[in-house]
Amino acid sequence: MSDFITLALDAMGGDDAPGIVVEGAARVARKRKDIRFLFFGDAKQLEPLIDKFKALKGISEIRHSDDVIPADMKPSVALRKGRKSSMRFAINAVAEHEAHAVVSAGNTGALMAISKFVLKTLPGITRPAIASVMPTVKRNKGVVMLDLGANVDCSARILVEFAVLGSVYSHLINKVERPKVGLLNIGSEEMKGHENLREAASILADHLQQADYMGFVEGTDINKGEADVIVTDGFTGNVTLKTVEGTAKMLAHMVKSSFKSSPLAYIGLPFILPALHKLKARMDPRLYNGGIFMGLRGLCVKSHGGADAVAYANAIEVAANLAEKNFNHHVAKVLEDMAHDDPDAEIEVDDEKPEKLAEEG
């Protein structure tokens, strides 16, 4: 690979693919001149779309595939039957060092299953996690939260690995000198919560090196902006992420309905519009698009399935930043230092046998 960052785009994944994928890529191409794109998907559809954007000229290559993995296909089936899909080909390009990272707005479960199978986990990482940056009350300060759904149950060791992954991201990409890491729990007392949380807390307090373990945090702390990284299991993380989304929608709905039922408010509306626009810009969910698959031997970013071009461009930028900063190299280094510091914390690599069988079956 050259000095350019090459990104493999699963051009057929997502509700409005391939249109928004190509348009999103063009938005990024206008801003950054260090990126090349490999578009995986139906060449007949992609060619005229790409031709429309001057910014994509000379930096885009189409890799044809006939197959697309449907949004509702089970991960195990996608792994077996999706071997000629745009998603699989795009992931293969990362495994074969043709691309630095893959971006897809397709089926999340399939993307995780295929990525795990094709890319494998990093040395010292037991399981990959899905991470995302969420807004906080502090302007321009996001919090990295993981796992958001890849692993329903997580041992203490896995939670510790997530803490490392999240804090490396916080440091490299969010530019936090020494990230503060919190473990999500139901109370700040040492007594509360699951056994694995208490065990993870004690390992983090003793062995976390490039970040500070700040202790247990609660649901109310997620958006306070005190923690830079919040670690939890994939079940709790997924429910939490969706609860934030649901609560925000409910409040927006209530604000609207209060205004609708108050005729006076319409007189005031023109005056408050600039404030509302500022608010909307700050809370725009498209700015937070990009679920980062961490812990794999290759970079993979999941865009929201309903993404538009702005949101998709954001997911592309997340992938480009991870590649530019050499995220995985830094993770490996931190894990090595931790293992060196604590000879008991041996590096174990998951050999993924069940999925190998699943694919061959």
Q: Which residues bind its own copies (CB under 8 A)?
A: 74, 135-137, 139, 149, 152-153, 184, 186-187, 189, 191-194, 218-224, 232, 234-236, 238-251, 253-255, 257-259, 261-262, 264-272, 274-276, 278-279, 282-283
Q: H-helix or E-strand containing 23?
A: helix 19-31
Closest by CA position to 110, among listed 146, 85, 147 = 85
CB 292 within 8 A of CB 130: yes
| Distance in Å, CB of 112 to its own copies, minimum | 12
Pick 19 or 225: Cβ nearer its own copies:
225
Determine if the peptide bond prior to 228 is cis (ω within 30°): no
Tokens of 220: 């109310």
Pick 209 or 262: Cβ nearer its own copies:
262
Pick 205 or 269: Cβ nearer its own copies:
269
Distance CA 342, CA 206 (A): 10
DSSP string, 32-67: -SSEEEEEEE-HHHHHHHHHT-GGGTTTEEEEE-SB
| Distance in Å, CB of 242 to its own copies, minimum | 3
Distance CA 22, CA 61 (A): 12
Pick 26 or 143: Cβ nearer its own copies:
143
| Distance in Å, CB of 232 to its own copies, minimum | 8
Give the position of tokens 């230092």.
337
Distance CA 129, CA 121 (A): 10
CB 38 within 8 A of CB 98: yes
Pick 145 or 311: Cβ nearer its own copies:
145
DSSP code, position 220: G
Pick 222 or 322: Cβ nearer its own copies:
222
CB 332 within 8 A of CB 153: no
* 223-334-238 Cα angle (round to 5): 35
Distance CA 24, CA 57 (A): 14
Give the position of tokens 């928004």.
20
| Distance in Å, CB of 271 to its own copies, minimum | 3
Distance CA 7, CA 149 (A): 24
| Distance in Å, CB of 108 to its own copies, minimum | 9
Pick 50 or 231: Cβ nearer its own copies:
231
227: left (phi over 0), alpha (psi -120 to 50) or beta: beta
| Distance in Å, CB of 220 to its own copies, minimum | 4
Pick 123 or 193: Cβ nearer its own copies:
193
| Distance in Å, CB of 111 to its own copies, minimum | 14
Pick 36 or 141: Cβ nearer its own copies:
141
